[in-house]
Amino acid sequence: MITYAIIFLTVAFSLYAMDKPEIKFKYIFHPFSIHQGNQHYRFLSHAFLHGDYLHLAFNMYALWMFGRVVEEQVFPALLSHDGEPDKKMGMALYIVMYTGAIYASSISEYFKNKDNKYYSSLGASGAVNALIFSYITCLPLTELGFFFIPMPAWIFGVLYLAISYYLSRRNTGYESVDKIGHEAHFWGAIFGVLFTLVIGLLNKDVYFEILRNQLK
């Protein structure tokens, strides 16, 4: 339910702002404006904007694929009591993680570019990556495709993080190589892993049972 609400809001706002440069610039992630103009709302608002239809479609597809599982299965199971999934608390933590991931994936770029008036970014990729890696943290042996090559989710995760980190080192300040926010992807993924591990270790018997069930 929360996943579909986020998709609806993101699609609606992205389409509304797609051909309106003045709206897009007002809500885009622009560290210089945040630093100089105290426009802190940009930390959150940029995740509901996308640069083009392909960018929007890819992120919303990934959100739909992984967000539903994390919201409806992973978090309720991690928070279960006496074998009964806690769906209400699962939904609450899902919202906290998604919102937190938007901020966590942007902090590094903020400090790196707060005096760079030419840098800006947009999109939900950091938060979506948090969901993907939350999924991987709980279901590491499920099969995912990396460039259409099937492999265990944990291997996919390691490869993705390594490539994102490498590419983020190439995209610095004024010299962005491919105009993709690899650093946001990387830190969003790390946030998803850490957030899920904290929840899992607070209820470690359940978490380890989820992991053991994949070996059966």
Contact present, 55 and 62 (Cβ < 8 Å): no
CA gap 37, 53 in Å, rounded: 30
- Give me the pLDDT at residue 175, please: 47
DSSP run (H or E) holding 124 = none
Residue 177 vs residue 83, higher pLDDT = 83
DSSP E strand boundaries for 63-161: 143-146, 149-152
Residue type, 63: L
Q: What's the confidence (pLDDT) of residue 144?
A: 86
Which one-letter amino acid corresponds to residue 35? H
Q: So what's the pLDDT on residue 62?
A: 94
Instruction: Name the band, by pLDDT with cuts 50, 70 and 90, for residue 92.
Output: very high
| Predicted pLDDT at 1 | 86
Tokens of 36: 């100089």
DSSP strands (E only) in the chain: 143-146, 149-152
Banded model confidence at residue 87, pLDDT cuts 50, 70, 90: confident
Quick: pLDDT tens for 49-79: 998 899 999 999 999 999 999 999 999 999 8
Q: What is the pLDDT of residues 24-38, one digit of tens each?
A: 999 999 999 999 999
Structural domains in the chain?
A: 2-213 (1.20.1540.10)
Q: Convert the pLDDT of each residue in 109-130 to its tens digit.
A: 899 889 988 888 899 999 999 9
Please state, for a pLDDT cut of 90, what percent of the chain lies above it: 63
Instruction: Kindly report the backbone phi and psi dihedral angles of residue 169, in degrees, each rounded to the nearest multiple of 5, phi listed first.
Output: -70, -25
Q: Under DSSP, is residue 144 helix (H, G, I), strand (E, B) or coil? A: strand
DSSP assignment of 65-76: HHHHHIIIIIHH
- Please tell me the predicted confidence (pLDDT) of residue 171: 61
145-150 mean pLDDT: 76
Tokens of 196: 């899920």
Note whether 189 and 160 are within 8 A (CB): yes
- At 175, phi and psi to the nearest 5? -110, 50
- Residue 210 CA to residue 45 CA, distance in Å, equals 35
Residue 146: per-residue pLDDT: 66
What's the rounded mean pLDDT across residues 183-206?
93
Average pLDDT over residues 142-162: 87
Residues 16-25 pLDDT 10s:
998 898 999 9
Please return the burial class of 58, using the count of CB atoms within 10 Å of its CB with bins 0-12, 13-18 and 19+.
middle
Q: Nearest to residue 192, comparing CAs of 150, 138, 134, 135?
A: 134
One-letter amino acid at 198 equals V
CB neighbourhood size of 54 (10 A): 9
- Residues 159-182 pLDDT 10s: 999 988 888 777 655 445 456 777
